Amino acid sequence: MKKRAIINIVFSLLLQFVTIVSGFIVPRMIIETFGSETNGLLNSITSFIAYITLLQSGVGGVIRAALYKPLALKNHHDLCVILKTTESFFKKIAYFTILYIVVLSLLFPYIITRNFSFLYTFSLVIIVGISTAAQYFFGITYQMLLEADQKSYVYSLVQIITIILNTISSIVLINLNYSIQFVKFISSIFFVLRPLAINIYAKRKYHINTNLEIDNDMISQRWDGVAQAIAYFVHSKTDVFVLTIFSSLSNVSVYSVYALVTSGLTALIECVDKAVRAAFGNIIALKENEKLCSSFNAYNCLIHLLSTVIFSTACITIFNFVHVYTKNVNDANYQQTLFGVLILTAEYMYCLRMPYNAIITTAGKFKETKKSAYLEALINIIVSCILVKLFGLVGVAIGTLFAMIYRSISFGLFLSSNILNLNKFQQIKRYLTSLITYILSIFILNNVNVAVEGYFEWVVYAFCIFIIDTLIVFILNLLMRKEETIKAMGMLLGRKCLK
């Protein structure tokens, strides 16, 4: 299990590296070639289409939780029944997805009336929606199987290949002056191939029996899981939705540039989270409670350390990056200091709660936590909608930050009384240690002012800040939480990993 976790982390990190590089290259070319409003339009369309994935995301956590036990006990019959039931469910979602995309393609041009014709917007919605619909028809069930069986490296490899092909094709087609519709159509073709490849691999690897009867009782919490998905989705997409309706596409484009950084950093933390989550599921399925508690404490500290270093470094370096990334782009103001700090801090809070969420979802505690998930979503939406008119981008960042703070407290309180029976004082102390370290490291490093005009200069600058920041965070944590910090570093070095 330790070996699988390491392999999953390596491939997941490689995937995130490829995703981040692609995410920086292609949008920059779109902004430069087609303008900030077109980039904002694409991000808005992607976000609106992605709302349909709430159904997938909600069921996904429930399905993975249901798969842990038959995989751990090697119960092939129950495994096949769960997969057959899941496939049946996702086929229904696929039909609903197609209907949603058609309706959205007809309505979205009237939502976005600025500078774009009906046919221009209509065609982009249909093209971007193709790959979304395809994943429900084909590979999504088996993607979840691979993740639950600690073989997410297979899915990561397929993703890496398709992202590289998509990036290369986008660069070539944009340089050859093809329309944005044609560029995105070719991208959709590559992303349709991804679920097909996963489908073929999983069916050959696991010898799935498709002649069994479905049993919805095996994934009975699927609708409770939707609450968790709504909270996650509101966290990641509401800002774009609110800006699209109440602000401008230029602000959507500005938001998307900062989101490239925040989502990339979160994905790095998620590499570790996803790699060990299945291992936690295995431990819970086998009821090894003592091992679960000791592993969680070390893992929780590790995530706090990594998140603090990564996001405090980002708070110092992001503005130089945005300056370089948007050089010669004059149709929108991309230098938004307060917004950048707030949105990074909100994402930092989101990452700090990942270990809590990992235990809750792998233990299948969806029904027990759905109320707080709905409340998180409401806080984000209401505060963002109220403040966006007053403060623009800063308003939606404040809404996200408030929602993250609330849910982090909610997670901590739930796990203090359930599953792990955590010591509340120790959890508060862990959060305070991380927040104090985060603020102090930013305060110290903020005095390091370096003029950066190119990507190479920025990489050198960011690397130096990262090294200094790592030392500051590590030393401060040793002073405040010595024993936990040493255990966490042991896990990072592979000396104390989930087995």
pLDDT of 462 strictly over 90:
yes
pLDDT tens digits for range 133-183? 776 666 677 888 887 787 888 888 988 999 999 999 999 999 999 999 999
Q: Comparing 285 with 57, which gets the higher pLDDT?
A: 285
Query: pLDDT band at residue 64, thresholds of 50, 70 and 90?
Result: confident
Spatial distance between the Cα atoms of 110 and 48, rounded to a whole number of angstroms: 14
> What is the rounded distance in angstroms from the CA atom of residue 422 to the CA atom of residue 430?
12
d(CA 153, CA 416): 33
Of 135, 149, 110, nearest in space to 8 by CA: 149
- What is the model's pLDDT at position 196? 83
Rg (alpha carbons) of the chain, rounded to whole number? 22
Please state the rounded mean pLDDT for residues 47-59.
65
- Mean pLDDT computed over 395-410: 91
Say what the pLDDT of residue 452 is. Answer: 85
Q: Where are the domains of the chain?
A: 1-207, 224-499
Q: In this predicted structure, which of 34-38, 73-77, 224-228 has the lowest mean pLDDT?
A: 224-228
Q: What is the pLDDT of residue 218?
A: 62
In the predicted structure, residue 98 carries a pLDDT above the cut 80: yes
* 183-193: pLDDT as tens digits: 999 988 888 88
- What is the reported pLDDT for 275? 66
The whole-chain average pLDDT of the chain stands at: 83
User: Could you tell me how far CA 102 lies from the centroid of its own chain?
Assistant: 26
Dihedral of alpha carbons 147, 149, 152, 155, sign = negative
Query: What is the pLDDT at residue 10?
Result: 83
Lowest mean pLDDT among 24-28, 106-110, 203-207: 203-207
Residue count of the chain, please give it.
499
pLDDT, tens digit, 9 for 90 and up, residues 345-397: 999 999 998 888 888 877 777 777 778 888 888 898 899 999 998 999 999 99
- Quote the tokens at residue 137: 């028809």
Cα–Cα distances in Å, from 161 out to 26, 147, 170, 191, 307? 16, 18, 14, 10, 28
How does residue 278 score in pLDDT terms, banded at 50, 70 and 90? low
Q: Which pTM does this prediction carry?
A: 0.74
The C-alpha atoms of residue 7 and residue 150 are separated, in whole angstroms, by 9
Measured in degrees and rounded to the nearest 5, phi and psi for residue 209 equal -90, 110
Output the CA torsion sign for 187, 84, 271, 1. negative
Is the pLDDT score of 225 beyond 60?
Answer: no
CA angle 341, 347, 351 (to 5 degrees): 140
Residue 17 contacts residue 167 (beta carbons within 8 Å): no
- For range 194-222, the mean pLDDT: 76
Q: How confident is the model at residue 281 (pLDDT cuts 50, 70, 90)?
A: low
Residue 469: is its pLDDT beyond 90? yes
